[in-house]
Amino acid sequence: MALGLHFVLCPMSLLCAEVSLSIDFKLYLITDRKQIKMPLPAAVRLALEGGVRAIQLREKDLPMRELLALSQELRAMTKEFGAKLFINDHVDVAVAVDADGVHLGHQSMPAAAVRNIVGRKMMIGVSTHTLDEARAAESAGADFVTFGPIYETPSKTHLGAPVGIEALRSVKRAVDIPVFALGGVRGRNIGHVLWAGAYGVSMISAIFGAEDIKKAAKNITAMVQIVDRSICVQCGRR
């Protein structure tokens, strides 16, 4: 599964990227069942009905058998919607359920080792919080990175102060793989991170913490599409 990237330099010093193959999503939704007032599969279905097309199953405290069962359920559901499923950290579970990819953190197996296991059959995403981490992830064979926290967010306080928009711009200039902005990203600032060069956005609470998950997913999906189109028009691509 080769990742083909073609970049067009925007007059506003941004990059519009045509990504062939697999990174065909701009909204990357991460699960956290502790923020949801209903069973996780029901919440994921609502998000998918709202237009989300990439889910990362990130439930680190689940026993392995429960995680596997949940992964199997979400795999069937994402296939139903033509969406992609990523498993956080557990390469074995990702392989067992034929997930589209695995997402790695700083304590996970290194991306290069995971690539040796999955080959090009799966995408590899990596969580990064510094420019050096993003560069290292790209060098190790990651297909994309999340970068943040861009803004303050309760779920990322352990990572310290937000890195901010300028750090996002620096990372985007330094790597050639897609960068998803993470941390405090929601409706009011989606345009800011996309115009700063993020390929897409990654979030948890903006959708799963909403009273109406389907409506939130639909609104955010539409917003991402509108901003993305406007950026590409500015870059001369229609």
Q: Which of 58, 115, 120, 135 is catalytic?
A: 58
SS3 assignment for 114-159: HHHHHCCCCEEEEEECCHHHHHHHHHCCCCEEEECCCCCCHHHHHH
Q: Say whether 58 is catalytic.
A: yes
Give per-residue pLDDT as tens, 100-156.
999 999 999 999 999 999 999 999 999 999 999 999 999 999 999 999 999 987 655
Q: What residue ranges do the domains of the chain occupy? A: 23-234
- pLDDT tens digit string along 159-170? 678 999 999 999
In this model, does residue 37 exceed pLDDT 70?
yes
Q: How far apart are CA 44 and CA 36, in angstroms?
A: 10
pLDDT at 34 over 70: yes
Question: How far, in Å, CA of 25 to CA of 189, rounded?
Answer: 19
Catalytic residue of the set 22, 71, 127, 155: 127
Does the pLDDT value for residue 92 go beyond 90? yes
Catalytic residue check, 65: no
Q: Mean pLDDT score of the chain, rounded to an integer?
A: 90
Say if residues 104 and 133 touch (Cβ distance below 8 Å).
no
pLDDT tens, position by position, 194-208: 999 999 999 999 999
Catalytic position from the list 53, 75, 156, 186: 156
Cross-strand bridge partners of residue 179? 145
Prediction pTM value? 0.89
- Topology, domain 23-234: TIM Barrel (3.20.20)
Rounded to whole angstroms, how far apart are CA atoms 71 and 45? 13
Amino acid identity for residue 143 in this structure: D
Q: What is the pLDDT of residue 64?
A: 97
